[in-house]
Structure 1
């Protein structure tokens, strides 16, 4: 049972069955207290209209009617609404008490999958609101609580709850678009810490934690073009559901492939033996679910095996899965140069699988995620890797002389930095000669 406190701790008189515990928060629309309902023996949240004005009362009644009409785990439940006991008192609403923290306080502890599942649950709740004829219009991390109870995977996707629906109003095409925009901006922020305007300026740059397919979904949801964006919340809902289903399928496919691909073990071991930058304890690492890098290498080899067999569709699926694992591995270990090297090696040898445009985008992403070579312990190797990527970009776009020259210059600067740090490395000198002699198809020097 909760610790008893005098009723005078509430800002206005209410029935004695509710014992005040503490103030939870306040905003423009009201004050929210944690309380104990002695009759039903449970904690509740009690929200008071901030003032007894007609506008404040209308907002509280509107919120209570909406919550009672729409039942979804992502929306806070309403238990009761009370009239003031005295003329000077305030209307109050008794709500479900959410034992947890605001989303902006726990975001760093949430994985990519959990984040998408959580936002998908919020999208489900908002879709239910739209079906009932309402729109939320104020979806922010501050208005979302994450339950601390329930840690099973089934419960995790239903942990996020919208707790303030005070400014919700009858829906319109504009308010529905606003909700979709705010939900997609929330997903973008949780995954990358980027704001929509930053995302607009760098649409092809994939950030750590933002897989390519999710980037496409968010870009569409944030689109300012009426013909490109989602027109209904259900469209956004279906795209996220598709991504989650595909993610789960990939995980199952990985373990199925691992269990049934014994014929591939020997080629993998040979590859590891012949490539000195590959992990030395690959099979041990492969058995660990936590080693995203080992998984990425497995899928990379398997995709190239499928491509050599002529199975382009399955090769593409496995290659995309490999890149997803590389992205996660690098996001968790950005200073591990071998992760960057192996991903680049895979990208540069995936011409049978991806188009030149796709590989160009992947290389630009890889350059962005590599960052400043000076941050790595092996600075010459990092400069060398950067030079290789810039030269590859020049070759892929050799019909565009201005791009060739720009990327050749970047490649030369990088390889010269590598030589300066390690002048006796033959491969650095060889790469410098290759870059200097390369010409575009238009005949530029």
Structure 2
């Protein structure tokens, strides 16, 4: 039978300045009520230790001392600690009232940027705790409130606040590592709804929600290997901060690039929508991945002009931007073959501004992300694309005969697989002939 608690009256008498409004919740550490402080004219949260025992009283006092010693927006502020006006009763703590909802009540996944921003803010608060000599020990969505604003309903404008530090304790290397693990586990859950064990068993399941750099950061923080994991909360917070900074920088560059290439934007968007006709208005349902894809084509188009004009440095900068957006579009929709094809065609022209070694690395990463052709709806075209990329690797490494032979053989197998699926496609036959001619020339162009 569930334990009953009064909803609109405090469980113990406390000073009359506090007017009870309602029970907010209860858990293992105590009861929390919303109240109105009539003296200071503000809403507050009042937390009572769950029982008058020495242990529960000690926990409440410890939590109050910790909150009063560390100041950060991600940590709930404490205003007072008091004793109810009856003997042998519970202590109470007067806290900042957080207007908002628990993170656990989110109805849908937030954007990748918003999720990283929230965990980054939490990590900053936890770093302050560690600097003060404490560890949280219980970072989870139930203990996190999203502070809402009266003027905004967007998640990115909601500050996260840790509201329960009842089991916080003096820090140790193990407890600090536990906090780092819980923060990264929280980020993983916000992005993919996966648990760490699922993530390590199926790391590519949610590529559309987990960009490769974030995947690396999370894997490092969750690692059980002492030499490879994030050693401190500071390290995790700084890596997330750098990711946010790069993301914001790219968004600013996008706006500037779009302004400088407005004609190219219009042309590319017309090309996209004409190639993929729809009966709806062209901007209806314009998704994030289409946005990344459109920007990728814009920067790729601008790159071609700059490279043709001999402006190598500027062309390389545009190429980097194009690659970032191609990568994002592939991450958003890893199953969309068209995005892989456009990216591969772009990469195969990068030797105009990058070294062969650099292009080889970029192309190998693209092949790794592409995966198995059987994972795509159009298997024959997938094999054909893989053959083109392997042939590109052979040409990029033509000075190293052992590499040329390896990539050329892979290209042969892939194009043969494409022809086996669809023997009458001209471009497959043409690529097969191109590979044969490359073989007959001994790998030279």
**What TM-score results when the alignment is normalised by the length of structure 2?**
0.76
Question: SS state of the match for residue 181, structure 2?
Answer: helix
Root-mean-square deviation over aligned CA pairs: 4.3
Structure-2 separation of matches of 1:324 and 1:152: 31
Cα deviation, 1:157-206, whole Å, max 9, x if unaligned, reads: 66111111111111122222221222122122212223333333455777
Question: Structure 1 residues 399, 12: closer, same or farther in 2, change over 3 A?
Answer: farther
Question: SS state of the match for residue 81, structure 1?
Answer: strand
Cα deviation, 1:316-371, whole Å, max 9, x if unaligned, reads: 5313432354147538xx7x664455345445555665543443333343448x99
Structure-1 separation of matches of 2:109 and 2:253: 26
Structure-2 separation of matches of 1:65 and 1:105: 29
> Which is worse superposed, 339-348 or 19-28?
339-348
Q: What is the match of residue 48 of structure 2?
A: 48
Indicate yes or no: 2:328 matched with 1:319.
no
Q: Which runs of 5+ in 2 are unaligned?
A: 1-5, 395-401, 440-445
Q: Which runs of 5+ in 1 are unaligned?
A: 1-5, 374-378, 440-445
Structure-2 separation of matches of 1:214 and 1:38: 47
Q: What is the match of residue 21 of structure 2?
A: 21
Question: Structure 1 residues 424, 241: closer, same or farther in 2, change over 3 A?
Answer: same
Structure-2 separation of matches of 1:428 and 1:23: 70
Question: Structure 1 residues 107, 151: closer, same or farther in 2, change over 3 A?
Answer: farther
8 Å Cα contact 1:7-1:19 kept in structure 2: no
Q: What is the match of residue 364 of structure 2?
A: 360
Indicate yes or no: 2:204 matched with 1:200.
no
Q: CA deviation at 1:207?
A: 0.9
Q: How does 1:270-281 map to 2 (within 5 A)?
A: none
Q: What is the match of residue 245 of structure 2?
A: 245
Indicate yes or no: 2:89 matched with 1:93.
no
Aligned residues: 415
Q: How does 1:152-163 map to 2 (within 5 A)?
A: 156=156, 159-163=159-163
8 Å Cα contact 1:121-1:157 kept in structure 2: no
8 Å Cα contact 1:205-1:364 kept in structure 2: no
Q: What is the match of residue 210 of structure 1?
A: 210
Structure-1 separation of matches of 2:411 and 2:194: 27
Structure-1 separation of matches of 2:91 and 2:287: 53
Q: CA deviation at 1:302?
A: 3.6
Q: How does 1:102-251 map to 2 (within 5 A)?
A: 102-106=102-106, 108=108, 110-149=110-149, 156=156, 159-201=159-201, 207-251=207-251
Q: What is the match of residue 442 of structure 1?
A: none
Cα deviation, 1:87-106, whole Å, max 9, x if unaligned, reads: 24211112122221121322
Q: CA deviation at 1:61?
A: 0.7
Structure-2 separation of matches of 1:74 and 1:276: 44
